[in-house]
Amino acid sequence: MQSRHVNPRRPNKLKIIQTNLTLPTEFILLGFSDIPRLHWFLFGIFLFIYMIILLGNGIIILITRVEPALQTPMYFFISNFSLLEICYVSVTLPRMLMDLFTLKGNIPFFACATQMCLFLILGATECFLLAVMAYDRYVAICNPLHYPVVMSHKVCTQLVVASWVIGIPIQVGQTYQILSLPFCDSNQINHFFCDIPPLLKLACGDIFVNELVVFISAVLIVTVPFMLILVSYSRIISTILKLPSNTGRAKAFSTCSSHLIVVFLFYGSASITYLKPKSNKHEGIDKLLSLFYTILTPMFNPLIYSLRNRDVTGALRKLFTRLLTL
């Protein structure tokens, strides 16, 4: 069996293991290399967005810790969700900023594996945490008398911890099975971070089983929590419509609307990306969808929760007043 020789002028660093199958020592993230003239503009835009995400979610975490009126289960979950968003975006965005700054996209194999694994784990955590937040709203509206008992601090903590850890074994296993695949000549990933769909496009041979495993995992992690959210909100809406006063209905809807907006923003773009058939024709659209649920949704979340919530806006006014009087 003869080994293939790789052109030394190519940027690909590939270790040959058998005829036309290679084990990459690194990948090259193409990112936005198709629009090189906009590199510095994109760097400035994404750096600004990253600062907004850190600041916005950081303020949400701060006010839910210092404001007594926000010491409730709902804001406990929102605080954890904001922390999750900071971690989630920090897995991908700093790396993308570095690639835009250096005009290089080289990422070592194990760094790529780590980035993908962390991204998948945090994405799974977001799915489960959104479902937990829907359950919290369900108990608060449909069983208000039992709410303090059902959603005790201990239960809330257990639900949050479960949301963070339940996806770890699944996503570690999924990362291993994807990066154990044999790859062809190219190690160039047409994306701005290491993700499953673009990596599968580089794999050689029959990957039907791998694609099936990815699809089943996506159904379990994305679809099942989403169905739980739908069931919770169907019960919530049914209960709200039975309320006697318009004021009560409006208040109940206002406490749920922010969460619903976040759910549809995240699940809409993520579901299209992971559950649609694989195709090479719409890679640009795939990048835009990935930008939406990895970067834009975490940026919008603090605005959604603050602008549509009187308790949060009141706490923000108190915080800024205290800062101005120092």
pLDDT in tens, 305-317: 776 677 788 888 8
Angle, to 10 degrees, between the axis of helix 39-66 and the axis of helix 297-307? 40
Residue 275 pLDDT grade (very low, low, confident, very high; cuts 50, 70, 90): low
**What is the pLDDT averaged over residues 3-13?**
42
Residue 38 pLDDT grade (very low, low, confident, very high; cuts 50, 70, 90): confident
Residue 240 pLDDT grade (very low, low, confident, very high; cuts 50, 70, 90): confident
DSSP labels for 95-143?
HHHHHHHHT--EEEHHHHHHHHHHHHHHHHHHHHHHHHHHHHHHHHHHS
Residue 262 pLDDT grade (very low, low, confident, very high; cuts 50, 70, 90): confident
Of the given ranges (52-61, 70-79, 138-147, 295-304), which has the lowest mean pLDDT? 295-304
Residue 9 pLDDT grade (very low, low, confident, very high; cuts 50, 70, 90): very low
pLDDT for 69 equals: 83
Q: Could you tell me which residue, 136 or 301, shows the higher pLDDT?
A: 136
- Full strand arrangement of the beta sheet holding 106-108: 106-108, 26-29, 188-189
> What gap in Å lies between CA 201 and CA 56, rounded to an integer?
36
Q: Which CATH architecture has domain 25-325?
A: Up-down Bundle (1.20)
Tokens linked to 107: 């990422």
pLDDT for 22 equals: 54
CA proximity to 15, closest of 112, 109, 107: 109
Longest dimension (CA), the chain: 80
Q: How confident is the prediction for the chain on average, in pLDDT?
A: 83
Q: Could you tell me which residue, 317 or 248, shows the higher pLDDT?
A: 317
pLDDT over threshold 90, residue 269: no
Q: What is the pLDDT of residues 62-89, one digit of tens each?
A: 989 888 888 899 999 999 999 999 999 9
Q: What percent of the chain has pLDDT over 70?
A: 87
Of the given ranges (129-133, 169-173, 246-250), which has the lowest mean pLDDT? 246-250
Task: Label residue 221 exposed, middle or buried (CB < 10 Å: 0-12, 13-18, 19+).
Answer: buried
> What gap in Å lies between CA 59 and CA 63, rounded to an integer?
6
**What is the pLDDT averaged over residues 293-320?**
79
3-state helix, strand, coil in the chain (%, to 5): 75, 5, 20
DSSP labels for 267-280?
HHHHHHHHHSPP-S
> What gap in Å lies between CA 51 and CA 295, rounded to an integer?
11
The domain limits of the chain are 25-325
pLDDT for 326 equals: 67
Of the given ranges (17-26, 129-138, 225-234, 294-303), which has the lowest mean pLDDT? 17-26
pLDDT for 4 equals: 39
Q: What is the pLDDT of residues 120-159, one digit of tens each?
A: 999 999 999 999 999 999 999 999 899 999 999 999 999 9
Tokens linked to 116: 């993908």
pLDDT for 282 equals: 58
